[in-house]
């Protein structure tokens, strides 16, 4: 990808002279509003409320947020500084449970804290590590997009779910990155985007991003996917991931599992696109993944307006786990992992 085009990408989160700038994704596409903050608690809040969202972008926000929090610690003795750091770390770890990028970024920031250094030096190193995490995620999503584009043929119609472009990655994108890269290779691609109830990441964000990139997109309600897959209208499905287990089981936005089963049933390839940072090498299967439960109101209201009888309680799991048997391949920045995933993914842990 050309440097010029990289700099044109939408930036959901940035570090700017001791402040964090967040593009408020809950306001898109109506308004492009940036939050500029020197308070790490606002970054925690932005992650919880999905102002910044998508696994890699959540990782980058966590790293910058921790660095920001540490800048604000006034303690001059190292023990008090470390206690302050631990409290900040814990607040980020409690923000959202499923995307492993958050926990990996937090672990890297913890490792980067070298208590033998002066406090000012420690702060500088933490900022540097957060910037490294950001640029590594950016490079990884660019790489995986180029690798994945090889799977896309000219004229393909691709079904995707949720939102996986620059907004979700603070980089090039995962599933949408693959689609962008295919387009840049001169292939004609058409995208079918699901709405992605209840928070409508597909309807609000994916259509917006694809239109910005001049890629033809049509929006469907989530429940239309089955009939399109059955009627031969889709050449492949590509989605992102929030956490991938060692055996390839993959957590992603709620509804992904249904799409995978439908794709499998209709012999349509089903691809996951994710950087290696989204693989959790500490868990053997998807059964160990914690799926976030979000507020009932996200389902019973739209734009703050109640759409159900007032007392109805909703179930609102934000993610589901797709068993590896329904996944054709996992596109990463190192290689395209094929079955058996235990071997191909296991190999990535050694590289
Ligand atoms: O709840 P969200 O919007 O953070 O969920 C995001 C997703 O599920 C994405 O598909 C996933 O993070 C892939 S990232 C590019």
> pLDDT tens across 96-149, in order?
999 999 999 999 999 999 999 999 999 999 999 999 999 999 999 999 999 999
Collect all residues with Cβ–Cβ distance below 8 Å to 16 and sequence separation of at least 6: 36
Whole-number percent of the chain with pLDDT over 90? 95
pLDDT of amino acid 303: 87
State how far the Cα of 16 lies from the Cα of 36, in Å rounded to an integer.
9
Which neighbouring-strand residues pair with 218?
192
Give the whole-angstrom CA distance, residue 142 versus residue 171.
7
Q: At 84, which helix (H) or strand (E)?
A: helix 78-93
Query: Taking residues 198-206, what's their average pLDDT?
Result: 98
Q: Do residues 14 and 58 make contact, with C-beta atoms less than 8 angstroms apart? A: no
The whole-number average pLDDT for the span 55-75 is: 97
Between the CA atoms of 89, 90, 95 and 101, what dihedral angle is there, to the nearest 10 degrees?
50
CA of 79 to the centre of ligand 1 (A): 37
Residue 271 confidence (pLDDT): 98
Enzyme catalytic residues? 242
Closest C-alpha among 185, 203, 189, 194 to residue 225: 194
Is the Cβ atom of 243 under 6 angstroms away from ligand 1?
Answer: no
Compute the average pLDDT of residues 20-26.
98
Q: Is the CB of 143 under 6 A from ligand 1?
A: no
Ligand 1 atom closest to residue 252's alpha carbon, by position in its atom list = 8
CA-319 nearest atom, ligand 1: 8
Higher model confidence: residue 10 or residue 132? Answer: 132
Reported as a single tens digit per residue, the pLDDT across 253-299 is 999 999 999 999 999 999 999 999 999 999 999 999 999 999 999 99
Q: Averaged over 175-184, what is the pLDDT?
A: 98
Cα(182) to centroid of ligand 1, in Å? Answer: 21
User: 50 in ligand 1 pocket by Cβ < 6 Å?
Assistant: yes
7 pLDDT band (50/70/90 cuts)? low
Closest residue CA from atom 8 of ligand 1: 253
Task: Write the DSSP string, 316-337.
Answer: -BSEEEE-GGG-SEEE-SS-EE
CA geometry: angle 189, 173, 210, nearest 5 deg: 45
Distance 201 CA to ligand 1 centre (A): 9
* CB within 8 Å of 308: residues ≥ 6 apart: 299, 300, 314
Beta-strand ranges (E) seen in 213-335 are 217-220, 236-239, 243-244, 250-253, 270-273, 301-302, 305-306, 319-322, 329-331
Cβ burial 263-291 (10 Å sphere, 16+ → b, else e):
bbebebebbbbbbbbbbbeebeebeebeb
**Which atom number of ligand 1 is nearest to the Cα of residue 240?**
13
Percent of the chain with pLDDT over 70: 97
Half-sphere exposure of residue 98: CA atoms within 13 angstroms, side-chain side: 24
pLDDT for 4 beyond 50: no
Mean pLDDT score, 70-75: 94
CA angle 72, 73, 75 (to 5 degrees): 145
- Name the residue at shortest CA distance from atom 9 of ligand 1: 54
Q: Mean pLDDT in the chain? A: 96
pLDDT band, very low/low/confident/very high, at 1 (cuts 50, 70, 90): low
Whether a cis peptide bond, with omega within 30° of 0, leads into 198 is yes
Q: Is the pLDDT of residue 3 over 80?
A: no
Q: Is 127 touching ligand 1 by the criterion CB < 6 Å?
A: no
pTM reported for the whole predicted model: 0.96
User: What atom of ligand 1 comes closest to residue 53's alpha carbon?
Assistant: 4
Tell me which residue of 57, 50, 59 sits closest to 26, measured CA to CA. 50
What is the Å distance from ligand 1's center to 56 Cα? 9
Q: Among all chains, which residue has been given the structure tokens 């500029």?
A: 36
Model confidence at 8, pLDDT cuts 50, 70, 90, reads: confident
Q: Identify the residue whose tokens are 């940036």.
A: 34
240 Cα–ligand 1 center, Å: 7
């Amino acid at each position: 990808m050309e440097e010029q085009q990289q700099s044109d990408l939408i930036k959901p989160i940035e570090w700017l002279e001791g402040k964090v700038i967040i593009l408020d994704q809950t306001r898109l596409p109506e308004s492009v509003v940036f939050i500029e903050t020197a308070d790490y608690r606002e970054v925690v809040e932005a992650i919880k409320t999905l102002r910044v969202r998508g696994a890699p972008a959540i990782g980058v926000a966590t790293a910058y947020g921790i660095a920001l929090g540490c800048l604000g610690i006034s303690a001059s003795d190292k023990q008090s500084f470390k206690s302050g750091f631990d409290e900040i770390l814990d607040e980020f770890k409690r923000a959202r449970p499923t995307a492993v990028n958050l926990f990996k970024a937090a672990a890297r920031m913890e490792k980067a804290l070298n208590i033998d250094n002066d406090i000012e030096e420690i702060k500088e190193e933490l900022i540097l590590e957060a910037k490294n995490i950001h640029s590594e995620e950016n490079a990884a999503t660019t790489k995986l997009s180029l690798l994945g584009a090889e799977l896309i043929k000219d004229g393909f119609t691709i079904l995707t779910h949720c939102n996986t472009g620059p907004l979700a990655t603070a980089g090039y994108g995962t599933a949408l990155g693959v689609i962008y890269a295919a387009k840049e290779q001169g292939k004609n691609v058409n995208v079918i985007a699901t709405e992605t109830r209840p928070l409508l990441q597909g309807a609000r964000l994916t259509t917006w991003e694809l239109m910005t990139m001049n890629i033809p997109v049509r929006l469907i309600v989530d429940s239309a996917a089955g009939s399109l897959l059955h009627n031969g209208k889709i050449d492949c499905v590509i989605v992102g991931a929030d956490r991938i287990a060692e055996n390839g089981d993959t957590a992603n936005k709620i509804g992904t599992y249904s799409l995978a089963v439908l794709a499998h049933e209709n012999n349509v390839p089903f691809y996951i696109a994710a950087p290696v940072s989204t693989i959790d090498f500490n868990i053997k299967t998807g059964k160990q993944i914690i799926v976030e439960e979000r507020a009932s109101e996200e389902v019973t209201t739209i734009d703050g307006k109640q759409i159900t009888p007032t007392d109805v309680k909703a179930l609102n799991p934000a993610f589901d786990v797709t068993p590896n048997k329904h996944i054709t391949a996992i596109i990463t920045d190192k290689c395209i992992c094929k079955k058996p995933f235990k071997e191909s993914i296991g190999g990535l842990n050694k590289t």
